């Protein structure tokens, strides 16, 4: 089976999952994920040190998406998060793959979608961006803070929604986290700031 077909199965199932959230951004993400990708990915598979926990996260997951993700995990193009604004060495604890987006595996001009791995014991610092953002946690528990709210645990299966320019941060403690994420609206990375 070719890589686009493995990725399509995961993307279609992820689209169904996002459809469960009642928001415009969820509908946009769901619609984009249900478009069958016929061309091969524009970026080859690539990994970072933070990705070393992915097999354990996926094998421990009870989520049906995990099995679909296992089948295409080697096709994913992982890169450093934060548009070059995070501290050097962050790739040891944090990795992102952008599957759909302007410079992603599958080009899209109006939306970004991907996955985020955050290793245990890491604080993704308070940051913001113009894009509206929706996360869906697939594995592990992280403590999230948005705006002036204190960090609170978010478990697998939970959605986390950030409005445009809303400051937010994530802390993992004893376990790593795997989440799907999507951006809509102003998706240019230039607005990303710490």
User: Cα(124)–Cα(168) distance, rounded to whole angstroms?
Assistant: 9
Q: Which two tokens stand for residue 44?
A: 């080859």
Q: Which two tokens stand for residue 53?
A: 């926990």
**pLDDT tens string 44-89:** 999 999 999 999 999 888 788 998 999 999 999 999 999 999 999 9
pLDDT of 4 strictly over 90: no
At residue 1 the predicted structure's pLDDT band, cuts being 50, 70 and 90, is very low
pTM recorded for the entire structure: 0.95
**pLDDT tens string 177-192:** 999 999 999 999 999 9
Return the CATH fold of 3-191.
Jelly Rolls (2.60.120)
Q: Is 87 exposed, middle or buried (0-12, 13-18, 19+ CB in 10 A)?
A: exposed
The neighbour count for residue 26, using CB atoms within 10 Å, is: 21
Q: How far is CA 131 from CA 48, 134, 165, 166, in A?
A: 25, 10, 7, 9
At residue 2 the predicted structure's pLDDT band, cuts being 50, 70 and 90, is very low
Could you tell me whether strands 132-139 and 159-162 are parallel, antiparallel, or unpaired per DSSP bridges? antiparallel
Q: Is 88 exposed, middle or buried (0-12, 13-18, 19+ CB in 10 A)?
A: exposed
Decide: helix, strand or coil at residue 123. Answer: strand
Confidence (pLDDT) at 54: 96
pLDDT of 138 strictly over 90: yes
What letter does residue 40 receive in the DSSP assignment?
P
Q: Which two tokens stand for residue 147?
A: 């705006």
């Amino acid at each position: 089976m070719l890589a686009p077909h493995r990725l399509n199965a995961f993307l279609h199932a992820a689209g169904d999952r996002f459809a469960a959230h009642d928001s415009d951004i969820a509908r946009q993400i769901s619609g984009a994920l249900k478009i069958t990708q016929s061309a091969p990915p524009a970026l080859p598979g690539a990994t970072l040190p933070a990705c070393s926990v992915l097999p354990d996260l996926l094998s421990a997951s009870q989520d049906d998406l995990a099995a679909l993700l296992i089948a295409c995990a080697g096709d994913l193009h992982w890169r450093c998060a934060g548009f070059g604004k995070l501290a050097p060495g962050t790739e040891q604890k944090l990795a992102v793959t952008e599957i759909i987006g302007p410079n992603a595996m599958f080009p899209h001009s109006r939306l970004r979608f991907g996955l985020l791995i955050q290793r245990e014991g890491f604080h993704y610092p308070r940051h913001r961006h113009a894009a509206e953002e929706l996360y869906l946690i697939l594995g592990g528990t992280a403590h999230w803070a948005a705006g002036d709210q204190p960090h609170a645990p978010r478990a697998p299966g939970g959605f986390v929604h950030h409005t445009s320019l809303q400051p937010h941060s994530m802390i993992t403690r004893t376990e790593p986290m795997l989440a799907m994420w999507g951006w809509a609206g102003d998706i240019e990375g230039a607005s990303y700031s710490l």
